[in-house]
């Protein structure tokens, strides 16, 4: 069996480089080649947890009900900016059925967001946690919350990033409202020289809105103490992150905290960290000696558990007549809410196209609103809307087809680190997408269609990381009846992780799918895997499973050799049997072998191998939109999206299609509907329910056609898989925006492209 070594692993998790020491194998099985046909991997298996979900037997964190369990609800600050002068909880405590009330006065000072606390007396946004009530029922807890009397000193607020950047603005922190006090910057080449070389220069400003994750399942935890040991059922994208966060907050050893998450109703980046609510529930549960369940309601979801920061992006692009991009400049600012986060969105401009002269300056700005969190392709969704709008305008100025313009500036290597990609199959994606949408029929004269309803076609490119990397581990256990258990400390956030893990194991060991069971989402029993974000789960975890299966195979051959008393070299493994190459009498089925050897022996571990040195791993893609715009009402209807992507090897085409549809729909929703609106005078959110925070319905859905142009990327790992969760959404809004311009000949420079904006643009 292969030996191991420790390396410093670096890869992009969301839009930041994550660095971790990781144990990786020094040898791995040969990677599945790009054109290799596999028996199970890639096939459209239905989810192995599908029956549990549709029949209602699947228990989500929200569904956990323990005997004697109490319910908790949170009192949140009703003001945009305030200080607690006094708090009187006596009435609430006296209400029959109330078990405890937690505030800053009776809980330890637990650090949060670096400079704040679990319960801070300086409340920086509407929704900031003030108190937590634990009661026999949710309804009693809700009543008790209203009985808490808080004396607030109302402070001046600011809820707009531009205003917050002014010296005169109310300050959230003594150090000012600009995070780190300065913009994030980047440059390569000489941007001024680049603009001087250009025949055409365009500068324009593009705006995107704040969007809320709003997963179907609300944030929630059920916690239970057994002596000094705490079990947490949480709706989370990162069980180990929750374990670490909760243990640190409570100042207890990591091995005292067990985090479990079996199923999840969506996260989209809002569930990548331990929540205050979980720690509040744990404190309360300890105090009352009972299990506690805490849930957020839809309003809390819209205030307090993350959002996509907005952006005001001023872009400048220079181009020669022949289509060569000579310079790109990006200046932006965006609101990150009341606590540290990141509003940067220049990665598309820095990395998508070949351009030697690039300069970037971007500000992340504190405002009195809920803190931003990563949201499905942070920065990229905003950035591509601006970049691709600019690119189409540049192409029009020099009379070049937008697709040809993009091909002219095709990057053959990574533009930021100046290293080759492990693979890039974008040209094929452009071709497939253009053919499927009917690009040749696209009107070259924007807005020239007859009649009030005008049709248009547009496209956008896409780049993202999504290569994953170590550490990620999987354990395999073979049972005496020949069934297999796969155990890993990742979590299925609704994307089909259970199913592809079974497929990879079944593929490598040539077993029927029914013989494979998968255990995920339990920090007490499963080996470490990272959080599920950044489109890294499948590319990180699938190689660990395959490597574990290959190790198991080697162990089976070794065991068979000992049992049959023949050299290992004369044995081969096939479909649950170890066979002698020539002597048909010398063969043994694996269940029999396990009975001979004992189950305890038949455990193998697989580790995600190191990423190749000197390469960038990226996903690529292109989406094409066919829209119609009713110029009398301003309504945009998306008829069709064609999504053509390079995501390495496909693990399961059915769950892949689910993810692709989900991404396109979320992209469409961001392009046309979703927006968190804050009343500027009170600093309070007005879109706190699913009526006013608009998301599309089935009636608003386009046709979605998907093409995967990649076979696999063997340079990355033993499975050659890249992620798809985020790539699916990244180009959708930009493609729609360019299609809208093609339809009406007026550019909408602000998302969401709601009817009022379209009408205002048309009837200016």
Partner 1 sequence: MKSFSYHQPKDIREASNLLGDNWQDALLNAGGTDLLGLIKHDIEKPDHLVNLKAVKDLDKVRYQEGKGLSIGALVKLNDLAAMDIVQNKYTVLAEALQETASPQLRNMGTIGGNLCQRPRCWYFRGDFDCLRKGGELCFAADGENKYHCISGGGPCFIVHPSDPAVALLALDASVTIAGKDREYTVPLHDFFVLPEDDVMRENILQPHEIVTRIHVPDLPSNTRSGYIKFKERDVWDFAVVSVAAVLRMGSERIEGGTMAFGGVAPKPWMEKTINDALNRMEVTDTNLDSLAQIAFTDALPLAQNGYKIPLVRNLIKRVIRTLNA
Q: Which residues here bind partner 1, judged by CB under 8 A?
A: 78, 139, 142-143, 452, 632-635, 673, 677-682, 684, 686-689, 691-692, 694, 696-700, 754-756, 759-760, 763
Helices (H), 442-528: 497-509
CB of 665 to partner 1, least distance (A): 12
Non-local CB neighbours of 114 within 8 Å, separated by 6+ positions: 339, 340
Q: Is the Cβ of residue 634 or residue 727 nearer to partner 1 in the bound state?
A: 634
Q: Which residues are registered as beta bridge partners of 83?
A: 122, 153
Cα–Cα distance, 542 to 685 (Å, whole number): 41
The token pair at 17 is 């480089």
CB of 706 to partner 1, least distance (A): 23
Q: Is the Cβ of residue 289 or residue 452 nearer to partner 1 in the bound state?
A: 452
CB of 138 to partner 1, least distance (A): 11
Q: Is the Cβ of residue 483 or residue 682 nearer to partner 1 in the bound state?
A: 682
Q: Which residues are registered as beta bridge partners of 421?
A: 616
Q: Is the Cβ of residue 41 or residue 638 nearer to partner 1 in the bound state?
A: 638
CB of 694 to partner 1, least distance (A): 6
Q: Is the Cβ of residue 11 or residue 693 nearer to partner 1 in the bound state?
A: 693
Cis peptide before 574 (omega within 30 of 0): no
Cα–Cα distance, 194 to 189 (Å, whole number): 8
Cα–Cα distance, 735 to 623 (Å, whole number): 6
Q: Give the strand pairing for 619-630 and 358-366.
A: unpaired
CB of 370 to partner 1, least distance (A): 15
Q: Is the Cβ of residue 17 or residue 699 nearer to partner 1 in the bound state?
A: 699
Q: Is the Cβ of residue 46 or residue 139 nearer to partner 1 in the bound state?
A: 139
CB of 365 to partner 1, least distance (A): 21
Q: Is the Cβ of residue 399 or residue 763 nearer to partner 1 in the bound state?
A: 763
Cα–Cα distance, 744 to 545 (Å, whole number): 51
CB of 759 to partner 1, least distance (A): 4
Side-chain-side CA neighbours of 490 within 13 Å: the count stands at 36
CA dihedral 410, 411, 415, 417 (to 10 degrees): 170
Give all strands of the β-sheet with 484-488 in edge-to-edge order.
516-520, 484-488, 473-478, 603-607
- Of the candidates 306, 363, 351, the one whose C-alpha atom is nearest the C-alpha of residue 462 is 351
CB of 106 to partner 1, least distance (A): 26
Q: Is the Cβ of residue 613 or residue 756 nearer to partner 1 in the bound state?
A: 756
SS3 state of residue 764: coil
Q: With contact defined as beta carbons under 8 Å apart, do 452 and 629 qualify?
A: no
SS3 state of residue 314: strand
CB of 344 to partner 1, least distance (A): 27
- Of the candidates 217, 258, 215, the one whose C-alpha atom is nearest the C-alpha of residue 239 is 258
């Amino acid at each position: 069996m292969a030996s191991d070594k420790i390396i410093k692993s670096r890869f992009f998790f969301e839009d930041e480089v994550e660095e971790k020491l990781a144990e990786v194998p020094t040898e791995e099985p040969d990677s599945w080649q790009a054109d290799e046909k596999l028996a199970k991997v890639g096939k459209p298996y239905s989810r192995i947890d599908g029956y549990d979900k549709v029949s209602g037997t699947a228990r989500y964190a929200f569904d956990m009900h323990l005997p004697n369990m109490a319910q908790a609800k949170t009192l949140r600050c009703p003001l945009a900016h305030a200080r607690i002068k006094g708090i009187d909880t006596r009435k609430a405590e006296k209400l029959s059925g109330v078990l405890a009330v937690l505030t800053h006065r009776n809980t330890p000072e637990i650090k949060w967001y670096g400079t704040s606390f679990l319960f801070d007396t300086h409340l920086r946004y509407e929704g900031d946690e003030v108190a937590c009530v634990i009661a026999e029922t949710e309804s009693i807890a809700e009543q008790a919350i209203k009985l808490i009397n808080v004396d607030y000193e109302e402070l001046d607020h600011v809820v707009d990033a531009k205003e917050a950047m002014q010296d005169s603005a109310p300050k959230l922190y003594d150090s000012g409202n600009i995070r780190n006090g300065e913009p994030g910057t980047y440059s390569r080449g000489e941007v001024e020289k680049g603009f001087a070389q250009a025949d055409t220069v365009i500068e324009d400003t593009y705006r995107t809105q704040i969007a809320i994750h709003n997963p179907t399942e609300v944030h929630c935890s059920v916690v239970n103490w057994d002596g000094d040991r705490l079990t947490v059922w949480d709706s989370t994208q990162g069980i180990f992150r929750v374990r670490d966060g909760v243990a640190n907050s409570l100042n207890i050893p990591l091995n005292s905290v067990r985090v479990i998450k079996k199923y999840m109703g969506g996260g989209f980046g809002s569930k990548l960290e331990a929540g205050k609510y979980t720690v509040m529930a744990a404190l309360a549960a300890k105090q009352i000696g009972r299990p506690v369940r805490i849930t957020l309601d839809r309003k809390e979801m819209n205030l307090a558990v993350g959002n996509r920061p907005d952006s005001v992006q001023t872009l400048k692009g220079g181009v020669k007549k022949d289509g060569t991009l000579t310079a790109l400049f990006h200046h932006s600012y965006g609101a990150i809410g009341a606590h540290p986060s990141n509003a940067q969105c220049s990665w598309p401009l820095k990395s998508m196209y070949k351009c030697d002269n690039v300069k970037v300056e971007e500000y992340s700005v504190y405002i009195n609103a809920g803190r931003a969190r990563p949201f499905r392709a942070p920065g990229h969704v905003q950035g591509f809307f601006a970049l691709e709008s600019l690119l189409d305008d540049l192409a029009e100025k020099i009379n070049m087809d937008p697709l040809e313009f993009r091909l002219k500036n095709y990057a053959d290597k990574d533009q930021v680190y100046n290293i080759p990609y492990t693979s890039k199959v974008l040209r094929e994606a452009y071709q497939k997408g253009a053919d499927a949408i009917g690009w040749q029929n696209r009107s070259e004269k924007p807005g020239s269609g007859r009649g009030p309803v005008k049709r248009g076609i547009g496209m956008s490119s896409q780049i993202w990381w999504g290569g994953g990397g170590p550490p990620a581990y999987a354990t395999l256990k073979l049972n005496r009846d020949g069934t297999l258990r796969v155990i890993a400390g990742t979590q299925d956030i609704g994307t089909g992780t259970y199913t592809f893990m079974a497929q990879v194991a079944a593929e490598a060991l040539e077993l029927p799918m029914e013989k494979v069971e998968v255990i995920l989402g339990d920090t007490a029993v499963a080996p470490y895997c990272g959080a599920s974000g950044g489109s890294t789960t499948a590319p990180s975890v699938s190689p660990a499973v395959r490597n574990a299966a290959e190790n198991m195979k080697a162990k089976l051959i070794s065991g068979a050799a000992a049992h049959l008393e023949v050299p290992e070299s004369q044995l081969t493994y096939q479909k649950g049997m170890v066979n002698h190459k020539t002597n048909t009498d010398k063969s043994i089925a694996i269940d029999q072998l396990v009975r001979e050897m004992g189950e305890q022996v038949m455990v193998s571990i697989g580790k995600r191998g190191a990423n190749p040195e000197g390469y960038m791993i990226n996903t690529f893609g292109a989406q094409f939109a066919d829209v119609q715009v009713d110029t009398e009402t301003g309504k945009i209807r998306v008829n069709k999206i064609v999504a053509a992507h390079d995501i390495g090897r496909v693990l399961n085409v059915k769950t892949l299609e689910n993810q692709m549809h989900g991404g396109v729909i979320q992209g469409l929703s961001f392009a046309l509907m979703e927006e968190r609106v804050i009343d500027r005078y009170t600093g309070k959110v007005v879109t706190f329910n699913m009526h006013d925070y608009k998301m599309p319905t089935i009636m608003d859905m386009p046709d979605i056609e998907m093409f995967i142009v990649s076979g696999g990327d063997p340079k990355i790992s033993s499975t050659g898989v890249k992620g798809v969760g985020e790539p699916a959404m990244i180009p959708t809004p930009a493609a729609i925006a360019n299609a809208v311009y093609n339809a009406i000949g007026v550019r909408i420079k602000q998302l969401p492209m709601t009817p009022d904006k379209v009408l205002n643009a048309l009837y200016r």
